[in-house]
């Protein structure tokens, strides 16, 4: 049983002192998503679970000072979570040798199964220290990855604007999207900057637009597509669409799929002579 295998692996890691803490998924009341648990003793591993409600991207916890204070971590990741880990590595935010990564082969998560999982390309993590389990339910065609976005882009610009106005007007600026994002690691977020204020902090339509558009741009060529922001949003804004439109643009123009190559340089701030530059002319 995979869950037992996971617990056994973690027990050994803690017992032989390889790591000080396991960041994994813990049980939740029926019908709810699992929660993050931080396990520091070999006995504690019985709390660990693995099921289709292991939705959160635990990589976000790696940036937290209180988690860092616990010592070298082992972290349980799915393939999509792992992409975020790789981006952090590329951006000098973590030393890969200082993290033990436990990859879980994933049949998809969520009830119902999430959109990202239906067109998942990876399912099995690639750069982990250990990979547990096997894929039993392959995803539907990966080519369906952009279907939702393509459907949305069929609308006229006016219709799309109206959609975002309606959706973003509901944003309460709780910044949950930022807090759960493993790649929002800035010590001071641009929205918290004043003198001068770059983004209006009030939950007005203008300020909301500025926030979400800036966040999408800051995630361009970085977003791992884990959809943590979309799950976290208390008012249910489909932030996935914004992130996907940037992802599609960077993939089509620069062949960039974030987090799929630990050796690759981050796209932003890199220059290649073959880059498209028709927009500069």
- Catalog residues that contact other proteins under the rule CB under 8 A: 91-93, 185-190, 193, 195-196, 198, 218, 265-266, 268-270
Q: What angle do CA 68, 34, 51 make, to 5 degrees?
A: 110
36 or 190, CB closer to other proteins?
190
In the complex, the smallest distance separating the C-beta of residue 269 from other proteins, rounded to whole angstroms, is 4
- Between β-strands 130-132 and 100-104, what pairing exists: parallel, antiparallel or unpaired? parallel
Q: How far is the CB of 82 from other proteins (least distance, A)?
A: 19
Shortest Å distance, C-beta 111 to other proteins? 35
Contacts of 139 (CB under 8 A, 6+ apart): 108, 117, 118, 119, 120, 121, 123
User: CA 117, CA 251: separation in Å to the nearest integer?
Assistant: 19
Least separation in angstroms between CB 195 and other proteins: 6
Please give the Cα distance from 146 to 169 (Å, whole number): 25
| Residue 31 or 271 having the CB closest to other proteins | 271
What is the C-alpha to C-alpha distance for residues 10 and 47, in angstroms, rounded to an integer?
Answer: 11
Residue 28 makes CB contacts below 8 A (sequence gap 6+) with 34, 35, 53
Strand runs (DSSP E) across the chain, as ranges?
21-26, 35-39, 73-77, 100-104, 130-132
Specify the residue, 152 or 254, whose C-beta has the smaller distance to other proteins.
254
Considering beta carbons, is residue 28 or 198 the nearer one to other proteins? 198
Smallest distance, Å, CB 6 to other proteins? 32
Cβ nearer to other proteins, comparing 41 with 265: 265
């Amino acid at each position: 049983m995979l869950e037992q295998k996971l617990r056994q692996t973690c027990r050994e890691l803690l017992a032989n002192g390889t790591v000080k803490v396991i960041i994994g998924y813990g049980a939740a009341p029926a019908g709810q998503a699992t929660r993050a648990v931080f396990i520091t003793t070999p006995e504690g591993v019985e709390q660990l679970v693995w099921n289709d409600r292991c939705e959160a991207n635990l990589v976000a916890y790696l940036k937290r000072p209180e988690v860092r204070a616990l010592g070298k971590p082992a972290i349980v990741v799915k393939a999509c979570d792992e992409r975020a880990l790789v981006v952090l590595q590329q951006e000098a935010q973590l030393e890969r040798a200082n993290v033990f990564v436990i990859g879980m082969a994933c049949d998809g998560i969520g009830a119902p199964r999430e959109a990202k999982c239906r067109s998942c390309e990876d399912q099995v993590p690639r750069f982990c220290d250990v990979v547990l389990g096997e894929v039993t339910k392959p995803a539907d065609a990966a080519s369906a990855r952009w279907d939702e976005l393509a459907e949305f882009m069929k609308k006229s610009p006016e219709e799309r604007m109206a959609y975002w106005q309606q959706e973003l007007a509901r944003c309460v600026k709780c910044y949950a999207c930022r807090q759960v994002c493993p790649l929002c690691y800035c010590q001071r977020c641009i929205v918290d900057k004043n003198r001068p204020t770059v983004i209006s902090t009030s939950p007005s339509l203008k300020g909301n637009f500025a926030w979400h558009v800036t966040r999408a741009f800051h995630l361009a060529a970085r977003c791992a597509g884990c959809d943590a922001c979309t799950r976290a949003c208390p008012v249910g804004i489909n932030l996935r669409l914004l992130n996907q439109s940037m992802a599609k643009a960077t993939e089509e123009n620069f062949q960039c799929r974030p987090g799929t190559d630990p050796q690759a340089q981050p796209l932003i701030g890199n220059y290649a002579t073959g880059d498209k530059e028709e927009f500069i002319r």
